[in-house]
């Protein structure tokens, strides 16, 4: 960042006319740098006053950890967030930070990416497992550049991953998710190959992802036997054994998903909830958003499943109240179980391949301990559930 770059960015966006940024200061807001990227609060000093010019903005750059960045680029995390802000944020039914400026080097077209994904999926299982087990060695970051400037939300509070949100906050998040899901429910844009959402809820390459799992499963369990218990591994292995069908099921384009619904991606203000960070923006089954949230933020204990069930029911009732009537409750409950299996499965991958600073504990430990009490006793169905 320089004063010249900032000035040019705001002028290109039409936010200012002739004014110049003459100085700025930056710092990491709250939780600092995670495994996905670096987010900076930037305070600006201008040489002139113009109506609407920002005094503080949020500037986002990719991860400075090359291995984390490579894996995130493979999943399209940076482009997902840019796509959301550039194409969907102005018609999102829940408040999000206003986009002020975005710039990125070109990405390959959708058809090229689809062809590459198909070639990857044709790899023999042994090759996929070998590649998965050595992903951090073989996958390299690109030389593409990304920078995103958004509105800074003043006087907002959030709940970090290490802590637990209040029931009131969780209900507000669940109600907001129901509004988003209902707004985009079976929207024609979801199936539009050119103008729609190019990103799936999970992945376009389930065999490659399962190679990551198979290549790292044994070492992760050996290092973390208290977290990856037999019940947890039963669930992750079920997902692995059914990975192609499970991911195809979860990727069905029922609605737009905000993705990564952890509480530290939600800001609470006097004017209501503001959703931030859209690196997992996608389309799929709504339970992907809901199970992601609830599996990460319910206090472990004998009462955890009861709390989970009550919150899950609240979301479903909110979805129906917002106009979605053809999605049965029994289907919702089944889909939530599939997504709980996905969360457990992804924790194995996180333990093996991602690096992030969460203070005294790790994201994997925090999340796994909260997920343990929610593990379903039987395997869910990967199909539409018949209602009686």
294: left (phi over 0), alpha (psi -120 to 50) or beta: alpha
d(CA 143, CA 131): 22
Whether residue 248 is predicted with pLDDT greater than 80 in this model: the reply is yes
Q: Which range, of 7-11, 171-175, 261-265, 383-387, averages the lowest pLDDT?
A: 383-387
The pLDDT confidence band at residue 32, using thresholds 50, 70 and 90, is very low
pLDDT for residue 196: 76
Per-residue pLDDT, 322: 98
Tens of pLDDT along 105-148?
Answer: 997 666 666 676 777 777 787 777 676 666 667 778 889 999 99
| C-beta of residue 173 within 8 angstroms of C-beta of residue 317 | no
Ranges assigned E (strand) in 92-145: 99-104
Q: In angstroms, rounded to a whole number, what is the distance separating the alpha carbons of residues 141 and 130?
A: 19
Question: pLDDT at position 33, please?
Answer: 47
Structure confidence at residue 359 (pLDDT): 53
Better-predicted residue by pLDDT, 130 or 378: 378
**Band of the pLDDT at 14, cuts 50, 70, 90?**
very high
* pLDDT at 108 (0 to 100): 67
This prediction has a pTM of 0.92
Quickly name the fold that domain 3-374 has. Answer: Aminoglycoside 3'-phosphotransferase; Chain: A, domain 2 (3.90.1200)
CA–CA distance from 1 to each of 85, 146, 161, 229 (Å)? 21, 12, 29, 46
Q: Quote the pLDDT of residue 31.
A: 47
The C-alpha atoms of residue 328 and residue 386 are separated, in whole angstroms, by 9
- Does residue 376 surpass a pLDDT of 70? yes
At residue 125, the pLDDT reads 76
Identify the burial level of 325 via C-beta atoms within 10 angstroms of its C-beta, where 0-12 means exposed, 13-18 middle and 19 or more buried: exposed
Output the CA torsion sign for 158, 160, 165, 171: positive
Identify which has the larger pLDDT, 349 or 192.
349
Task: Enter the tokens of residue 130.
Answer: 């070998």
Residue range 171-181, pLDDT digits in tens:
999 999 999 99
What is the C-alpha radius of gyration for the chain, rounded to an integer number of angstroms?
Answer: 21
Least-confidence region, from 22-31, 97-106, 254-263, 304-313: 22-31
Phi-psi sector, 156: left (phi>0), alpha (psi -120 to 50), beta: beta
297 Cβ neighbours under 8 A, 6+ residues apart = 159, 164, 165, 170, 262, 263, 370
CA distance linking residue 241 with residue 235, whole number of Å: 10
Phi and psi at 279, nearest 5°, equal -70, -5
Of 228-232, 260-264, 349-353, least confident by mean pLDDT is 349-353
Burial bucket for residue 271 (CB in 10 Å: 0-12, 13-18, 19+) = exposed
If you search the block for the tokens 């900076």, which residue do you land on? 40
Which pLDDT belongs to residue 110? 62
Alpha-carbon 266 to chain mean position: 12
Greater pLDDT, 214 or 192? 214
The mean pLDDT of the chain is: 90
Q: Which of 134, 121, 334 is nearest to 244 (CA)?
A: 121
Average pLDDT over residues 149-170: 93
């Amino acid at each position: 960042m320089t004063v010249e770059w900032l000035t040019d960015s705001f002028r290109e966006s039409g936010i200012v006319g002739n004014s110049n940024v003459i100085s700025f200061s930056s710092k990491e807001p709250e939780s600092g740098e995670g495994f996905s990227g670096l987010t900076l609060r930037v305070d600006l000093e201008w040489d002139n006053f113009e109506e609407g010019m920002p005094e503080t903005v949020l500037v986002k750059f990719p991860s400075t950890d090359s291995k984390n960045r490579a894996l995130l680029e493979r999943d399209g995390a940076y482009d997902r967030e840019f796509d959301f802000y550039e194409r969907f944020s102005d018609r999102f039914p829940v408040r999000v930070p206003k986009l002020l400026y975005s710039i990125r080097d070109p990405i390959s077209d959708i058809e090229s990416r689809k062809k590459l994904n198909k070639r990857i999926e044709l790899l023999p299982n042994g090759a996929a497992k070998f590649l998965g087990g050595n992903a951090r060695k073989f996958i390299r970051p690109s030389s593409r550049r990304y920078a995103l400037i958004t509105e800074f939300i003043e006087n907002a509070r959030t709940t970090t991953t290490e802590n637990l949100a209040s029931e009131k906050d969780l209900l507000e998040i669940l109600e907001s998710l129901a509004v988003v899901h209902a707004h985009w429910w079976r929207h024609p844009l979801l199936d539009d190959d050119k103008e729609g959402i190019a990103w799936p809820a999970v992945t376009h390459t389930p065999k490659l992802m399962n190679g990551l799992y198979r290549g790292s499963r044994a070492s992760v369990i050996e290092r973390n036997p208290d977290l990856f218990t037999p019940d947890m591994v039963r669930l992750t292995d079920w997902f692995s054994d059914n990975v192609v069908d499970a991911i195809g099921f979860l990727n069905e384009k029922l609605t737009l998903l905000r993705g990564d619904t952890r509480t530290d991606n939600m800001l609470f203000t006097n004017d209501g909830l503001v959703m931030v960070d859209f690196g997992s923006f996608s389309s799929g089954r709504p339970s992907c958003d809901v199970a992601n949230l609830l599996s990460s933020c319910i206090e472990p204990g004998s009462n955890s499943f009861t709390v989970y069930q009550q919150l899950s029911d609240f979301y479903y009732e909110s979805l129906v109240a917002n106009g979605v009537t053809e999605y049965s409750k029994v289907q919702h409950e089944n889909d939530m179980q599939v997504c709980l299996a996905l969360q457990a499965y992804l924790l194995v991958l996180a333990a093996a391949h991602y690096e992030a600073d969460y203070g005294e504990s790790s994201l994997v430990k925090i999340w796994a301990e909260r997920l343990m009490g929610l593990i379903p006793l039987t395997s869910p169905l990967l199909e539409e559930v018949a209602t009686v």
